[in-house]
Amino acid sequence: MLTLITFPDGFDEPSLSPFCVKAMIQLDMAGVDWRPEYTGTPGDGPLGRLPALRTPEGVIPESGFIQTYLEGQGAVFHMGLSSVARVRAHALVRMIEEHLRLGIAHDRWLVDACWEKMKPVAFASVPAPIRPAVATMARRQVRSGLKSQGFARMTEAQRMACFQPDLDCLTDHLWDTPYLLGDHPTAPDTIAVPVLSMLAGLPASTALRETVRRNATLMAYIDRGRAALYPKTIRSAAAA
């Protein structure tokens, strides 16, 4: 059995990380036996990041490498797609993973109203005496990374000017199909659904959350994707 090393659940998501949820979805799509191993420590992954997949061949880091491993075992995440559609799939994944998902990180960690609700969930496994210090240090690291990237230097309106084209692109892809590239889920859906779901589920009101919630096409897609792709039962550490 494969073991997925993953952040724990929270905010009605199987994991706090969209990349961990992506790996869960792909493991289920691949039809393999797997179990979660929950941790609140990113350093438990070989690259200091999660998710990571423990396999007979060793530990596979990163959701993209996990997808490649599963494809090497026979899984198909681009079923029915032409070579041109596969190019679109790759571009959509990169847009979501390298750009849009940063909205989750920014608003969860740097918007004070979200942070106050995020902190006790994200750091629940940290011993109480050191929890405030650990949380403060982690938030400082996230802020530094997002300042380097640029989003933490922008106003909310400027950030929305960056994210709105991403949301428009996804909306346009869904105007006449249930999934991004057709009538069944493919690789881009495995990351688009958790990212959009987490944006809509941000723990406090932000411009990004409300923009997603007002988009009927995206909200219907989130509901459809969660019903079709999310683990049927939200797995817990006790169940693991």
CATH of the domain at 11: 3.40.30.10
Average pLDDT per block of 10 residues along the chain, 240 residues long:
95 96 97 94 86 96 97 96 97 98 98 97 92 95 96 97 98 96 97 98 98 98 97 48
Concatenating the DSSP letter of every residue in 139-165 gives HHHHHHHHHHHSGGGS-HHHHHHHHHH
Do 215 and 172 share a structural domain? yes
User: In angstroms, rounded to a whole number, what is the distance separating the alpha carbons of residues 43 and 51?
Assistant: 10
Report the pLDDT value the prediction gives residue 236, as an integer from 0 to 100: 37
Do 214 and 117 share a structural domain? yes
Asked if residues 152 and 146 have their Cβ atoms less than 8 Å apart, the reply is yes
State the total domains in the chain: 2
Q: Please give the model's pTM, rounded to 2 decimal places.
A: 0.95
In a domain, 97, yes or no: yes
Report the pLDDT value the prediction gives residue 157, as an integer from 0 to 100: 97
In a domain, 236, yes or no: no
Report the pLDDT value the prediction gives residue 233, as an integer from 0 to 100: 55
CATH of the domain at 124: 1.20.1050
Using only C-alpha atoms, the chain has a radius of gyration, in whole angstroms, of 17
Which residue segment(s) compose the domain that 201 sits in? 83-229
Do 64 and 88 share a structural domain? no
Tell me which of 72, 103, 131 is where a domain ends.
72
Report the pLDDT value the prediction gives residue 41, as an integer from 0 to 100: 83
Do 93 and 60 share a structural domain? no
DSSP assigned state of 67: H
In a domain, 235, yes or no: no
Report the pLDDT value the prediction gives residue 44, as an integer from 0 to 100: 77
Do 161 and 63 share a structural domain? no
